[in-house]
Every structure is written in structure tokens, then in C-alpha cells.
Amino acid sequence: MGGTKVALALGNAAGELLARDIFPTPQSGDSGRDLDHIAKRARSLAERHEIAWRRIEAAGVSLPGPLDREAGILLNPPNLAGWANAPVGRQLESLLGVPVGIENDANAAVLAEWRFGAGQGANDVVYLTMSTGVGGGIVLGGRLQRGIQSSAGEVGHLPIEWDGECCACGMKGCLEAYIGGAAWSRRLAEQTPADSGVARFAAGAAPTPEHVVAAAREGDAFALGELDRFNHYLAWGIVQLGFVLAPEVVVLGTIPSAAGEALCLEPVRAKVRERLWPALQDTLRIEASGCGDRLPDYAGLSVAIATAQEAAD
């Protein structure tokens, strides 16, 4: 579930996605009514694909923003009006008649990459996502690490400089203030030369990181410089994670996945090699998302699988 759309997916423990539905996030102002609508669409999705509801063992919900997982409550999501303190878990359980688990989106995403994506087979996996902000999820020893208030893995706020660029979170010098989409777009609005490929791709609109990636593919000098800066700060964040966690796999979603090997993954690996111990590098893989466009589906499915397992224990 996101601020603009809801993606429903039906799948099994083997990772087969059987059915899918996407629709605009209902935001009537009354989260109970909205959840009722979502539950009805879930039931009708199963029906349309001739999957008997009694075969559904559990549901998993990937949600933006801070949440109280034990209580199944979404706290204060920035992009979901009327959903503050919504008892999403309990209400969906009563509407769907199955156990329902909720996780924040970065935690759900790392579960998906660990179970079905680039982190398959590894014990220790970190997933980094770079969209408006920068988020992360951590699996260690095959277990999701949530920390206090599900706040572990807030890698977007790793301090790059003690007193550096202002961040949307109110602090200064956070990684997100250098490579988050919102901060980067503000920078691009100020600095994009009118004759650059980035401006051409933006075609009069505000330039975004996506335009940078598109222009860099054509060899645009400004775009390549911007990506180099992005890769540098991203590598810095990965080095911090490397020394704290010594993970086996760091999975990079969104922008790095879109930019690909030559423009992002290879340069990031090279920069990480400059600063991380050889022993830690040798065993660290830095990879693009293995779930790709299906990540939201696998994220929900992974939470559902974990919820079914917990219910069985």
C-alpha cells in the first residue's frame, strides 16, 4: 500500500504469483471504510482466479511510514490522509478471516529480496531503496532486524557530514540529503544546464533523477557528473553498513537498479573497494534488485509467508 496506489497479489510459499490487482489508494478520510474496500477487492481477486478463500493462510501488508507492528497499527504515515493510528492489522484480520502481518515497506522489501530476489540463500542481507527518501531493511542470520519502533535500517539518515546539507528530517548531513530523490530533484532544479541532456529529457518539466539516468545513458556530461556524485555518497553509506554489519549482500533498488551495471553498480563497487577492508569486500556482493518491478508483490507475499509461519509456531 502506498500513497497513490494499492497493489494486491495472491501467491504461494514457493514464490509463485498467481493473481494481481492494482487500484488507486482509497482515501475517503475514514480508514475503516478504505480497508473494507481493499478487503473486498482481495476477496474478489481470489474469486476471479478461482482460488477458494479457505486456501488463503495469511495476508501480509507492506506499509509506508512508522508503525507498531505488534499492535498492527499504522502510526502517522506522511502520505495517507485519514490513516493515522489506523488498526490496519486487526481490522483486516476481521475482514479477511486470516492472520494479517504488517511491516514497513523497507522491511518488507528486504524480506522479499532475501526470500525471492538477489539475497536468496544468504544469511545477512541489506536492502537499500532510493525514491523520495532513502530507506533500508536488514536481515541478519535469516531474521528481520527491526530495532526500536521498527527503526533499524534508517540508512537514509546515516551522517555523511556532521554539519552538512539540510535534510527533510530536520537533521543535517544525512545521506538522504545527498542522494534522496527529493533533495536531488531540488539540486537539479537549481543546477541543470539548459543545454544538457537532462534538460532535454525533462522537456520543460522539473528535472528528476530519472532524467539524469536517461541522459547519462547517452553520455551527457552533466548527467554523468551527477551520477558520479550519487555513486560516491551511496558507496559511503554502503561502507558504513559494511563495517557495522559485515553483510553478505547489499541489494540496491530503484535508481541503481534502473541505472544498471555500467552507470551505477560497477562504479559503486569500485568506490566501496577504496574504503572497505579487502576481507569484507571479498565476501560482499552488491547487486541490483532481483525482484525488480515485482518487488511490491513479493514484499507483501514475504510478509504473508512470515505471518503464516508465526501463526503455525
Instruction: Choose between 43 and 236: whose C-beta lies nearer to a second copy.
Output: 236
Nearest to 116 by CA among 103, 125, 105: 125
Instruction: Choose between 190 and 274: whose C-beta lies nearer to a second copy.
Output: 274
Chain position carrying cell 542470520: 141
Q: Helix, strand or coil for residue 9?
A: strand
Out of 18, 84, 171, 221, the residue judged to bind a second copy by CB under 8 A: 171
Q: Is 65 left (phi over 0), alpha (psi -120 to 50) or beta?
A: left
Instruction: Choose between 153 and 207: whose C-beta lies nearer to a second copy.
Output: 153
Distance CA 57, CA 59 (A): 7
Distance CA 311, CA 300 (A): 16
Distance CA 298, CA 304 (A): 10
By CB under 8 A, the residues from 279 to 298 that bind a second copy are: 279-280, 283-284
- 4 part of the interface to a second copy, by CB under 8 A: no
43: which residues sit within 8 A by CB, 6+ positions away? 53, 96
- 168 part of the interface to a second copy, by CB under 8 A: no
- 245 part of the interface to a second copy, by CB under 8 A: yes
Out of 149, 189, 221, 309, the residue judged to bind a second copy by CB under 8 A: 149
By CB under 8 A, the residues from 46 to 75 that bind a second copy are: 66
**Segment interacting with a second copy (CB under 8 A) among 79-87, 106-114, 184-192, 235-243:** 235-243
Distance CA 206, CA 293 (A): 25
Out of 46, 110, 112, 158, the residue judged to bind a second copy by CB under 8 A: 158
- 246 part of the interface to a second copy, by CB under 8 A: yes
Residue 142: other Cβ atoms inside 10 A:
11
Distance CA 203, CA 10 (A): 39
- Sheet of 134-140: strand order equals 143-144, 134-140, 125-130, 249-252, 285-288
Instruction: Choose between 23 and 243: whose C-beta lies nearer to a second copy.
Output: 243
Report in angstroms how near the CB of residue 95 gets to a second copy at its nearest: 30
Instruction: Choose between 15 and 135: whose C-beta lies nearer to a second copy.
Output: 135
20 DSSP β-pair partners: 9
CA distances from 122 to 25, 50, 89 (A): 34, 35, 29
Size of the site for a second copy (CB under 8 A): 41
Out of 124, 220, 287, 297, the residue judged to bind a second copy by CB under 8 A: 124
**Segment interacting with a second copy (CB under 8 A) among 22-30, 211-219, 233-241, 254-262:** 233-241
**Segment interacting with a second copy (CB under 8 A) among 36-44, 112-120, 239-247, 253-261:** 239-247
**Per-state percent for the chain, helix, strand, coil, to nearest 5:** 50, 20, 35
Instruction: Choose between 79 and 149: whose C-beta lies nearer to a second copy.
Output: 149
**Segment interacting with a second copy (CB under 8 A) among 5-13, 91-99, 240-248, 300-308:** 240-248
Binding region for a second copy (CB under 8 A): 66, 124, 138, 140-141, 143, 145-149, 151-155, 157-159, 162, 169, 171-173, 232, 236, 239-241, 243-248, 275, 277, 279-280, 283-284
